[in-house]
Amino acid sequence: MAELFGNSVLFLKVRPGSLEEATRELRENREVSDVQRLLGPWDLIVSGTFSDYESLRKFAETVDSKPYCERYTVYPNFKEWTRETPPETPTTGWAMIRTSNVDHLLDELQKAEEVHWLMSTSGEYNVIARIGTDKLSELANFLITKVHKVPGVKSTETLPSTEEK
């Protein structure tokens, strides 16, 4: 079984009218460490600590069986970095990044104060980053001026969080 590290994430599309129910139920799950609402093709990002891929798969199957689940995608965490004391920022977003050089991207992003958390994963994207800024425009600017300029970055998808700080 593949060992996992830190928080793996599940992006969830919720059936219309079920967002409150899904958020409440997921936050009550002892395996879940955080649930945040998002803007974009996914409604929620659910993070949790799973020791191995099998336990993450079982959690995803349980979520998939819920009436509120329209669809989901899972990103297991193979390597994680967290800023020791991330600054309080009113705007946060999740950047999903596809790159040909994961280690270089992780090294570069760790230098940026806007980056609060990183993980390397598998799937359509191979790096997921939690980014914090004072304004939504600064979040977009950070992605364009810093992330997109890192050699090897092929594509990004960004999902601003609607959680209030």
Distance CA 134, CA 160 (A): 12
CATH of the domain at 86: 3.30.70.920
Q: Are residues 65 and 84 in the same domain?
A: no
- Other C-beta atoms lying within 10 Å of the C-beta of residue 141: 13
Question: Could you tell me if residue 156 is inside a domain?
Answer: yes
pLDDT score at 162: 79
pLDDT score at 1: 55
Q: Are residues 88 and 133 in the same domain?
A: yes
Question: Could you tell me if residue 1 is inside a domain?
Answer: no
Distance CA 46, CA 63 (A): 10
Residue type, 21: E
Q: Are residues 100 and 149 in the same domain?
A: yes
| Partner residues linked to 57 by β-bridges | none
- Which residue, 28, 57, 75, sits at the end of a domain? 75
Report the DSSP pairing between strands 44-49 and 69-75.
unpaired
Distance linking the first and last C-alpha atoms of the chain: 37
pTM for the predicted model, two decimal places:
0.87
pLDDT score at 5: 78
Q: For each of the chain's 165 residues, which pLDDT tens digit applies?
A: 567 878 899 999 999 999 999 999 999 999 999 999 999 999 999 999 988 889 999 999 999 999 999 999 999 998 889 998 888 888 899 999 999 999 999 999 999 999 999 999 988 999 999 999 999 899 999 999 999 999 999 999 999 997 754
pLDDT score at 164: 56
Q: Are residues 83 and 137 in the same domain?
A: yes
| Partner residues linked to 120 by β-bridges | 79, 127
Residues 93/42, Cβ–Cβ less than 8 Å: no
pLDDT score at 51: 83
Q: Are residues 85 and 149 in the same domain?
A: yes
Q: Which helix (H) or strand (E) holds 96?
A: strand 91-99
Q: Which helix (H) or strand (E) holds 35?
A: strand 32-37
What letter would DSSP give residue 82?
E
Question: Could you tell me if residue 2 is inside a domain?
Answer: no
Report the DSSP pairing between strands 32-37 and 69-75.
unpaired
pLDDT score at 87: 85
- Other C-beta atoms lying within 10 Å of the C-beta of residue 37: 18
pLDDT score at 159: 93
State which residues form the domain around 35: 7-75
pLDDT score at 71: 97
Provide the token pair at 69.
């689940």
